[in-house]
Structure 1
């Protein structure tokens, strides 16, 4: 399956999921006593968006048609998409800009990320780097304490998405349900341009063996990489809220670096305790 084929299929599923969550009353249509379907009908979406019902049906079937940006924005209005969802829909329909090629002699994306993370090893808050597949490729000492000591895991198990849906992840993250929904929605948005990647598809299929991941993935929710508060159950300090800031620069795309800082300015009364308790796991071997 090509990336274009995968994107068309994903766009079709995304449109269906958004259509099914809109009630007729929300768009000024009568529900009717005999209505049996969930959400809007395809022809109702088409009429509200000013489209041919047949053409819109083809779009939801994943056929090789090419909606204009104006058509997509019309659908976004009818389906009441968030800005993140609207951008995601455009990305699926029109692809992405090709990431810049590194100049000759420059570091690879992963090496650049590893150097950036290594420079943060003295901070008491977690910093880690991950690739497109959520493989954790670098982490500082604090990440080994707040998340898990990745150095003792086999390389193929050093994966943030797998960890999030593991028994340890579900125990370590407070408000896990909300956090898991957020990370799946972020990842779905991030990997959209690489829909034809066989390894990604296999990873998603493997993760779907977890009922929670399967439910969230089938929800088709998407979100951009914005900062958010994550609440940890710290092994020594109890519940600790921190702000998670994910950075993804063109120089090391599609890798990313996740920084954690105090949730609020001045909200680090346990800083000394944190600094005193680093484990010795090495994230740079």
Structure 2
């Protein structure tokens, strides 16, 4: 299967690795890559970069075919801290560079005027192929863009049929910033949504697969966490599902604002 992509050529489906550590994380990454995934997402905060890197190394997939993304935690975003923190992530991953380096949250020591130029330094050195942000509002994306010579290629946010992020998606589309969805199946809550169940039954699919297909067809990349081969494979197979206009409209019309990740330091 050809790997579908969204804005800026990002693979439309990736493997999320939050709370997946040790040998299990290594095996999950290896399994995903060998099934066809080409987008792996981790973060310094997840404390699994070494295990993720081992999975990439253990797979038969050439490194240059894989989009590897990691994130800097908000304690490491001061101007003088960004470069050493990023290099520490690279060391743990066992890689010479990453394809995406995200600001994990616009919080803590984050200051656009300091953090973004430091990320640009990594970009200019070739240690980071692309600069990205996570959990940014449209206004914060705009401010980050003002302070970054390098293009900001992605904004990773919670996004799923129960939190559709219309305003944010519209802004990012207008600015050629890809949206990457974490918690894309609302931590399993999509299974309890009658409208999604109706669409799933129509296509002989699962509600999870319908949610992932909806995101892909709305030009949003999804990075669902999965550990077992069965779940990794089922998510991958969602790319064979094409929703029709009626299906998409039914999901678009869900009037729900169910945000699951809402820490006190969040910007909204």
Normalized against structure 2, the TM-score is what?
0.29
State the structure with more CA Rg: 1
What is the TM-score when the length of structure 1 is the normalising length?
0.28
